[in-house]
Amino acid sequence: MDATVGAGGHAERLLEASGPSGRVVGIDRDPEALEVARHRLARFGGRLQLVHGNFAVLKMLLDKLGLREVDGVLFDLGVSSLQLQRPERGFSFQLPGPLDMRMDPGQEQTAADLVNRLSEVELADLLRRYGEESFARRIARSIVRRRPLHTTTELVEAVQAVVPRSRWPRRLHVATRTFQALRIATNRELECLEQALGQLPEVLRPGGRAVVISFHSLEDRLVKRAFQSDPRLRALTRKPVRASAEEVRANPRARSARLRAAERAEASP
């Protein structure tokens, strides 16, 4: 199972490696991504099943397909390049667009709803908790003073107005952590991940493996804890695997990627 199929890159590799009879279930919240993956992977025919859904209900989605167990589950967390490149989706601080950030456009809550509804204290807490933003209070105050905010450009300007230029990170855009925090909150990403990780022992066959690629410490902590605390799982990675310098040159986004893997323990006799 590719629980975050996106444009289908990982699913394509899985299908190639498991040929001629291996099957892959691809899940994604984003119906646009599923259409891209469906077109890209059409040559694999019935070996691929694509499902619109949230991996937070992993077991239920499998049950609907009549599947009890799988040999492996892959999660590639965070926002996809496909979503970042679409300004109308509102994920990118580099492209003007609406403050949307919904991974599933069918859900009601948008980033704009949070920005314009939450109190200054609640916004500051959100930015600290999900973005680990050291200027959370200043940014929250700036947002509240400028409300209503409807575009990514307006949010970037609210951040830039209160973070001294001397404190702008060298390798990150000054609004990176603010956008991360709002995206995580809008999509309930950490709650969904925690729910999915708790279901892994139920959907993996004995000897089956789970692989999670995360992009920030909040996700990685949840994965580490899940793999180490459940006796039905055996961690295969003591530390997260990081991308090589060569891979980062080819794919700069891999710089922050952290991969952890675990194996479903054999069932007790």
| pLDDT for the residue numbered 169 | 72
Cα three-residue angle 37-38-39, rounded to 5 degrees: 90
Cα three-residue angle 47-30-197, rounded to 5 degrees: 75
Q: How far apart are CA 185 and CA 101, in angstroms?
A: 10
Domains along the sequence of the chain with CATH: 9-82+189-264 (3.40.50.150), 92-187 (1.10.150.170)
Instruction: Give residue 170's Cα distance to chain centre.
Output: 24
87 CB-side CA count, 13 A: 7
| pLDDT for the residue numbered 252 | 85
Return the DSSP state at 128: H
Q: Are 90 and 156 in contact (CB under 8 A)?
A: no
| pLDDT for the residue numbered 269 | 46
Q: Are 102 and 110 in contact (CB under 8 A)?
A: yes
**Other CB atoms within 10 A of residue 35 CB:** 12
Which residues make Cβ contacts (< 8 Å) with residue 10, sequence separation at least 6?
Answer: 2, 74, 76
pTM higher than the cut 0.95: no
Burial 143-181 (b: 16+ CB within 10 A, else e): bbeeeebbbbebbbebbeebbeeeeeeeeebbbebbbbb
| pLDDT for the residue numbered 80 | 86
**Other CB atoms within 10 A of residue 223 CB:** 27
Question: One digit per residue, pLDDT tens: the chain, 269 residues?
Answer: 999 999 999 999 999 999 999 999 999 999 999 999 999 999 999 999 999 999 999 999 999 999 999 999 999 998 888 899 999 999 999 999 999 999 999 999 999 999 999 999 999 999 999 999 999 999 999 999 999 999 999 999 999 999 988 877 777 899 999 999 999 999 999 999 999 999 999 999 999 999 999 999 999 999 999 999 999 999 999 999 999 999 999 988 888 999 999 999 986 54
Which residue blocks in 161-255 are alpha helix, DSSP H?
A: 176-187, 189-203, 217-229, 245-250
Reduced to 3 states, what is the DSSP secondary structure of residue 205?
Answer: strand
Q: How far apart are CA 139 and CA 187, in angstroms?
A: 21
| pLDDT for the residue numbered 267 | 66
Taking Cα atoms as reference points, which of 79, 64, 62 lies closest to residue 4? 79
Extract the tokens encoding 74. 């892959």
